[in-house]
């Protein structure tokens, strides 16, 4: 099967196909080497990296739901310095681009992270703004357009890498957020992040998750994610990375028709370790069957 039809350029990052492993579900890419040829992956988005190491939340951190999963991992990671010293070399050696996802507690810290990651081996930076702003009383960056714009500007000042803002769906109007980060210089927009939810243990009669609430992902959130991609792609001029409940190549096609220039697979990686490669193969077959010269030709077609 000819896969040349899948080659895309996302925010200046050349990719063999438009299917990425989403942050928090694909490790640093190396963890999946036993399950697939990593050259079949369009790109890897690393698990979230913070300025200092984080142990994550105590208690139960994962809960299965009827159509997905809840997690409250708490950004467990080794911190940026250990990542640069011990992990980046191996991850960057994989036959696919590496984007690094970052989180912090202030715009200044985001800028510092971006500066440290402005190195060879990092193809781009995905900025997770679903985090509390410690300097502003805990307000979440991703729910305040001004705060989101400030983070975007800080990151852009400190790196020459493509900067993709990962937006929270837990807002009244996603378009307002998207336009704010675009105006501040974002090269691309990634959406959606998880939706806040919870579970209760009926025997202990207490919240199941150690953090009480967690992020809902998986097929349950696909219709919401698809709607937000549609709205955002029609409102901004920068490329959109679509994710949220993608489990099949048909799901990926829907997101691209809605306006996503590329897609990322998250929770499905835990069900099918080859999900990213399988979806890419399905897209190639779809192009062949439908006579599509390149998959980018379908981007946004549902809105035309």
pLDDT score at 131: 75
- 146 CB-contact burial (10 Å; exposed 0-12 / middle 13-18 / buried 19+): exposed
Q: Is the pLDDT of residue 134 over 80?
A: no
Q: Is 192 annotated as a binding residue?
A: yes
**Residue 257 marked in a binding site:** no
Is 125 annotated to bind a ligand? Reply is: no
Report whether 279 belongs to an annotated binding site.
Answer: no
Give the mean model confidence (pLDDT) for residues 185-207.
97
What does the mean pLDDT of the chain come to?
Answer: 95
Does 27 count as an annotated binding residue?
A: no
pLDDT, tens digit, for every residue of 222-249? 999 999 999 999 999 999 999 999 999 9
pLDDT band at 264 (very low <50, low <70, confident <90, very high): very high
Q: Which two tokens stand for residue 286?
A: 């779809």
Q: How many CB atoms are closer than 10 A to CB 205?
A: 7
71 assigned ligand-binding residue = yes
pLDDT at 44: 98
Helix (H, G, I), strand (E, B) or coil at 18: coil
Burial classification of residue 179, based on how many CB atoms lie within 10 Å of its CB (0-12 exposed, 13-18 middle, 19 or more buried) = middle
pLDDT of res. 267 = 97
Q: Are 43 and 276 in contact (CB under 8 A)?
A: no
Maximum Cα interatomic distance, the chain, rounded to a whole number of Å = 57
Give the angle 283-123-51 at the CA atoms, nearest 5°. Answer: 120
Tell me the pLDDT tens digit for each residue of 19-29: 999 999 999 99
Is 244 annotated to bind ligand? Answer: yes
Q: Which long-range contacts (CB under 8 A, 24 or more apart) does 60-63 make?
A: 60/208, 60/209, 60/210, 61/209, 61/210, 61/211, 61/214, 63/199, 63/208, 63/209, 63/214
| Fold entry, domain 4-290 | TIM Barrel (3.20.20)
Q: Which residues are catalytic?
A: 131
pTM of this structure: 0.96
């Amino acid at each position: 099967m000819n896969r040349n039809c899948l080659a895309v350029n996302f925010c200046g990052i050349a990719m063999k196909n438009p299917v990425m492993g989403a942050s928090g579900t694909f490790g640093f890419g190396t963890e999946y080497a036993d399950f697939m040829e990593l050259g079949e992956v369009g790109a890897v988005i690393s698990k979230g990296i913070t300025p200092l190491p984080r142990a994550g939340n105590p208690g139960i951190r994962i809960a299965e739901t009827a159509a997905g999963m809840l997690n409250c991992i708490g950004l467990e990671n080794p911190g940026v310095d250990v990542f640069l010293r011990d992990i980046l070399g191996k991850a960057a050696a994989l036959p696919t681009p590496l984007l690094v996802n970052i989180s912090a507690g202030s715009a200044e810290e985001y800028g510092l992270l971006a500066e440290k990651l402005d190195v060879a081996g990092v193809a781009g930076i995905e900025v997770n703004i679903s985090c509390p702003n410690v300097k502003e009383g805990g307000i979440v960056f991703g729910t305040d357009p001004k705060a989101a714009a400030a983070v975007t500007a800080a990151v852009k000042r400190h790196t020459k890498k493509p900067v993709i803002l990962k937006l929270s769906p837990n807002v009244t109007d996603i378009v307002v957020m998207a336009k704010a980060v675009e105006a501040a210089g974002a090269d691309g927009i990634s959406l959606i992040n998880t939706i806040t939810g919870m579970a209760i243990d009926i025997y202990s009669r207490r919240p199941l998750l150690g953090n009480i609430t967690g992020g809902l992902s998986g097929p349950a959130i696909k219709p919401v994610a698809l709607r937000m991609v549609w709205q955002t792609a029609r409102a901004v001029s920068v490329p959109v990375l679509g994710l949220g409940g993608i489990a099949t190549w048909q799901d990926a096609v829907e997101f691209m028709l809605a306006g996503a220039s590329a897609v990322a697979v998250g929770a499905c990686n835990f069900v099918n370790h080859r999900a990213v490669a399988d979806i890419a193969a399905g897209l190639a077959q779809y192009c062949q069957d439908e006579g599509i010269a390149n998959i980018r030709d379908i981007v946004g077609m549902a809105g035309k």
